A and B are shown apart, each in its own frame.
Chain A
Amino acid sequence: METIIREGSAKTPYVSLDGEKGLIEIKGRSIPENSVEFYKPLIDWLERYSSNPLENTNVNIQLEYFNTSSSKCILDMLKKLELLFKKGNKIQVNWYYEEDDEDMFEAGEDYQSIITIPFTMIEMEE
C-alpha cells in the first residue's frame, strides 16, 4: 500500500496517508477554493486502503483553519473510515484543537454527532 505525503501550503494542509502504519494525519490549514479537487485523491486512497486495511487505523486531525467545503470532504473521509469500523476494524480518530478555540471544538462535535466511530477531542495548550 503506497504512502501519500502532501506538504502543507498557504491553503492546503500537510497530509500523510501511511498504509504501512495505518496512520492518517491531516494538519495545518485547509481552505482551498476547490476542496473536492484536493481531497479526491485522498478519498480514493482510503478506498484502496479499505480493501486491505491494517487491524488498527489511527487518524490525527489537527487543523488550524478549515473552510466549509473542506468540512464536507473531511466528513467524506470519515465516512469511509466508518464503513471500515462497521466491518470490525479498529479505528481511532483524534481531533486536536487549540485551547479556547471554540469553533474548532464545535466542528469536532459536529463530526462526533454524525459519525459513529471512536472519536476523541484533544485540547492543546497554546
Chain B
Amino acid sequence: MTNLPVTSESFTIPVGPLHVALEEPMYFRVAVDGETVTDVDINAGHVHRGIEYLATKRTLAQNMILTERICSLCSNSHPETFALAAETIAEMEVPERATYLRVVAGEVKRVASNLFNVAILAHLVGYEALFMHVMQVRELAQDLKEAVFGNRMDLGAICIGGTRYDLDEDTITALTVALDRLEPEIREIEKTYRTNGSIQRRTRGVGVLSIDDAIACGVVGPVARASGLMQDVRADAPYHAYDRLPLDVQTLPDGDVWSRAMIRLHEALDAIVILRACLRDLPDGPVNLGSDPYVPPGRAVARSEAPRGELLYYLKTCDAEEPERLKWRVPSFPNWDALTVMLNRAKVADIAIIVNSIDPCISCTER
C-alpha cells in the first residue's frame, strides 16, 4: 500500500440517505483525502413528519398515544416524559406503586435498546455470529416485553397520573425468571466485547470524542459518559423512584466507539439490578389516578434518561384540551453534531461504525 503514489486530491463521497449500514435514512457528504475523512456535512430531513404540529391538534390523552409512536426503540421514554410534564403542571401526585412500575417499563426498554445497538456494532465489524447471538439474547427481553405488556416495542405502559399496567404475582415471577436468564448472557456478551480481538481492533481508539468536545457539543447519555462526562438524569435530577433505587452511573475516559459500547452493556446490566430492586420493593396501592385527570393551563419542562440519554419535554397547556405547544429534544439531536468531531480524520471504512456508536435515532431527531 505504501508504494502507491499519494495524491493530494480530495474527493467527496456520499454516505446515505439509503445505505446498507444505516437503519434509517440520513445523508452524509463526506470529504476524503485518500482513505481519511477530512470534512463531514450532515443533511437531514428524510423522515420529517411534522409530529410537533400534529401534537397541537390532539388532546393530551391522544398525545400519549402519538408520542409513543415517535420512535420505536425509546417508545416508552416519550409518553413517560410527556406525562411527567403534564403531572408537573397539574401538581399531581403519582401513586408510589406507579413510580416503580414506570421504572420497570423504562429499564426493560433500556436492556433491549442497548443490546440492539451493541448487536449492530458486531454486524458492522463483520462478526455476524456475535451479531446473531446478541440479537438472540435481546429476544429474551423482547419476549419479556410481550409477556408483561402484550407488545414487543410500544408498551403502552404510561398514562397521565400513573401507569396503564399492573404486575401480579405471576408476571413478577415471569419477569424474575427472564432476568435470571438475561443476566448471565449479558455478562458473557460484555466479556466478549471486552476481550475479543476483532471487536477491539475495529473499535478501540476509533471515533474519539474528548471530554472537552463532549461538553462543547452538549452530548448526552452513553456518548457523554463514554467521554468521561458524569451525567445521568436519573441521578442528577431524580424522577419516579430513582432516588430510592441502586443506580450505578459509570463513565469511561477514552471516548471511543468501544467505550460507548461498554457503557451501554454496563447500563443493560445495571438495569437488571434496578429491575430486581423494583420487583423486591414494589409498594402496594393504586397504579394511576383514574381516567383522564384534568390538566389546567400552565407550562412545564420535564427530563428523563432514555436509553440514548437525556430526553427533554416542554409542554404548554391552555384552556383547550389540546396543548398550545408540545416540544421535545431527543438525546440523538445534540449527539449528531458530535459526529463531525468523531469522523474527523477517521478512516472511510470506520464511518458506519462511528455513526452507529452514537446509537442514532433519526425518527426521533426529525419528528
State yes or no: do A and B come from one complex.
no
Q: A-contacting residues of B (Cβ < 8 Å)?
A: none
Q: B-contacting residues of A (Cβ < 8 Å)?
A: none
